């Protein structure tokens, strides 16, 4: 029977209608051939044709460097006062300038794909995300910072060279707003963090847990919106991603390598996105929110949303997270 499952973090509903007993091989997408050569690549440092802006200084590491996005979704405005307020457009609509920032974090090695990142690459990437978070935290209009990664053309990676992006916005993004308000409600009712409770519950149940180490768990999310969706969470309650230490960064790198290795093995290098959800920036105060727990969501892009998903804002998923966890734990097809 199809099921409705409620997302305990946002309160939203997801429909599970498993089509039939499918195997992971049914989800393997035909891999598209890689065509972009290093000589035509805007991110290869030695490319003479690069029209890309210069690196942001002081952020280069052994394996990564940072550029400002050539076509930014959010811009830094030198005239801070100008953009604080909503403007009424046509005397009718609300509008404001999309302030913030939009960086590209480039992995130096053109040929090193996400599933092959070494611990050293992960460390440089995570360290850069933290540095940019701390930078945007000091910018007056920035309310939120979100690092993301697109892997594969079906996951909107328009340039093949491996790269992450950091979005800084003057508004808290819609999904994060829902997570914040629903977990605040949960906290009022239960006097505990929904994420911490979910981690304990998943460890007890042991049907959706995929991996754990001393500091992190990886699980197939109960109300997944994507087949094989995986969440990675720190075991200890922590609201801000930037509070990762050297030790927990190493543990996170280990976890990411295992998860992407297993997704690659099971689904043959699926297109995917991942993003980091952390508490909104709070101007260097670094206050812990009792209801919010930072986490990483990994979304393989194996299904296409249809009219119902768009019309209902409610997703129909065709593989249960219990099945997905079973495959990902042992890496079988
Ligand atoms: Zn390149
Ligand atoms: Zn928590
Ligand atoms: Zn989230």
Predicted pLDDT at 21: 55
User: What is the residue-wise DSSP string for 74-96?
Assistant: SB--S-GGGGSS-EEETTTEEE-
79 has pLDDT over 70? no
102 has pLDDT over 60? yes
Predicted pLDDT at 141: 84
Predicted pLDDT at 153: 86
Distance 193 CA to ligand 2 centre (A): 5
| CATH class in words for 3-9+54-330 | alpha beta
Domain spans of the chain?
A: 3-9+54-330
For the chain, the straight-line distance linking the first and the last C-alpha, in angstroms and rounded, comes to 25
Q: By percentage, how much of the chain surpasses pLDDT 90?
A: 70
Distance 38 CA to ligand 1 centre (A): 5
Q: Is 13 exposed, middle or buried (0-12, 13-18, 19+ CB in 10 A)?
A: middle
Contacts of 7 (CB under 8 A, 6+ apart): 13, 14, 222, 223
Predicted pLDDT at 84: 58
Tokens in use for 79? Answer: 């005239």
Residue, of 141 and 223, whose pLDDT is higher: 223
77 has pLDDT over 90? no
Local confidence band at 292 (pLDDT 50, 70, 90 cut-offs): very high
Distance 118 CA to ligand 2 centre (A): 29
User: What is the model's pTM?
Assistant: 0.94
CA distance 252 to 33: 31
Local confidence band at 33 (pLDDT 50, 70, 90 cut-offs): low
Distance 313 CA to ligand 1 centre (A): 37
With beta carbons less than 8 A apart as the criterion, state whether 271 and 160 touch: no
pLDDT in tens, 307-325: 999 999 999 998 999 999 9
């Amino acid at each position: 029977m199809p099921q409705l499952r409620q997302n305990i973090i946002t309160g939203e509903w997801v429909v599970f209608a498993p089509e039939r007993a499918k195997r992971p091989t049914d989800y393997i997408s035909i891999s598209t051939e890689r065509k972009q050569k290093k000589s035509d690549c805007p991110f290869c440092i030695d490319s003479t044709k690069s029209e890309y802006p210069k690196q942001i200084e002081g952020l280069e590491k052994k394996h990564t460097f940072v550029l400002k996005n050539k076509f930014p979704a959010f811009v830094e405005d030198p005239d801070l006062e100008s953009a604080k307020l909503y403007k009424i457009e046509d005397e009718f609509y609300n509008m404001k300038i999309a302030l913030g920032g939009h960086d590209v974090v480039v992995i130096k090695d053109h040929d090193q794909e996400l599933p092959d990142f070494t611990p050293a690459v992960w460390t440089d990437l995570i360290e850069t995300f933290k540095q940019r978070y701390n930078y945007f935290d000091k910018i007056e209009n920035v309310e939120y910072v979100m690092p993301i990664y697109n892997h594969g053309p079906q996951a909107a990676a328009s340039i093949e060279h491996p790269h992450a992006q950091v979005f800084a916005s003057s508004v808290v993004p819609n999904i994060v707003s829902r997570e914040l308000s629903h977990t605040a409600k949960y906290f009022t009712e239960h006097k505990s963090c929904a994420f911490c409770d979910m981690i304990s519950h998943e460890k007890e149940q042991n049907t959706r847990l995929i991996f754990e180490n001393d500091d992190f768990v990886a699980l197939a999310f109960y109300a997944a919106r994507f087949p094989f969706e995986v969440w990675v969470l720190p075991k200890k309650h922590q609201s801000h991603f930037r509070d990762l230490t050297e030790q927990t960064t190493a543990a996170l790198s280990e976890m990411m390598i295992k998860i992407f290795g297993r997704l690659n093995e099971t689904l043959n290098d699926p297109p995917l996105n991942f993003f980091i959800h952390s508490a909104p920036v709070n101007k260097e105060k670094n206050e812990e929110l009792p209801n919010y727990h930072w986490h990483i969501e990994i979304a393989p892009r194996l299904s296409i949303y249809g009219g119902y998903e768009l019309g209902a804002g409610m997703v129909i998923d065709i593989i249960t997270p219990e099945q997905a966890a079973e495959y990902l734990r042992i890496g079988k097809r």
